[in-house]
Amino acid sequence: MINIGRNPFAASFATAIDSAATWNKLKDGGAMKIDGGCYCGRVTYTAEVDPHTVTICHCSECQTLSGSAFRTLAFADERTFALSGAPKSYIKTTESGGRRELYFCGECGTPICSSAVSDGPKAYSIRVGTIRQRADLPPLQQIWFRSAQAWVTELAALPTFQKDASSNFGEKAD
């Protein structure tokens, strides 16, 4: 467990946390209880995650499987992770040769989590976008950055709109 008091990201992490209660728990090195599920609600879960391990993955597999430029993950031990509903799964072989089982909703297609295919204890990488408390889980690291899209570091420079940009054509950004 990372000691938040010595964490170089602590200042930005504290700013990103929405609630004082969450911050107090994290600075003491505690796990965070979360819950979430798919878009249609047929697959749900509860878990405890270590907020210090929230990660953005830029690998080409995450780009393809998420339909985006990267995927954001939080990690949970199998002892605290409970999945409900009837998720479908797909087993993929990673670039490093490992096998991972990816779980998703068979109805709406929302990716939920993945875990290594092995006999040992499992750790689940939960898709942060499916976590109800996602605003309290800012990423603290980026991996597979060699595969990142070149433009990903320039996102802060783009114009922003509080809602769909199509209704704002001709208007100034925020």
pLDDT tens for each residue of 100-132: 999 999 999 999 999 999 888 889 999 999 999
Single-letter code of the amino acid located at 56:
I
pLDDT of residue 159: 87
Domain range list for the chain: 4-168
pLDDT digits (tens, 9 = 90+) for 24-60: 444 556 799 999 999 999 999 999 999 999 999 999 9
pLDDT at 95 over 70: yes
pLDDT of residue 162: 83
What average pLDDT does range 140-163 have in this prediction?
A: 91
From CA 81, how far away is CA 87, in angstroms rounded? 14
**Which tops the pLDDT comparison, 98 or 102?**
102
HSE-CB at 148 with a 13 A cutoff on CA atoms is 13
Q: How far apart are the first and last CA of the chain?
A: 39
What average pLDDT does range 144-150 have in this prediction?
A: 94
pLDDT of residue 97: 87
pLDDT at 147 over 90: yes
pLDDT digits (tens, 9 = 90+) for 3-31: 333 333 333 333 343 444 444 444 556 79
For residue 98, count other CB atoms closer than 10 A to its CB: 11
| Whole-number average pLDDT of the chain | 83
HSE-CB at 71 with a 13 A cutoff on CA atoms is 22
Task: Using alpha carbons only, give the angle 10, 139, 41 rounded to the nearest 5 degrees.
Answer: 135
pLDDT of residue 68: 94
User: Looking at the domain covering 4-168, what would its CATH class be?
Assistant: mainly beta
Global pTM reads 0.78
User: How far are the Cα atoms of 6, 52, 141 from residue 10, in angstroms, in the given order?
Assistant: 7, 10, 12
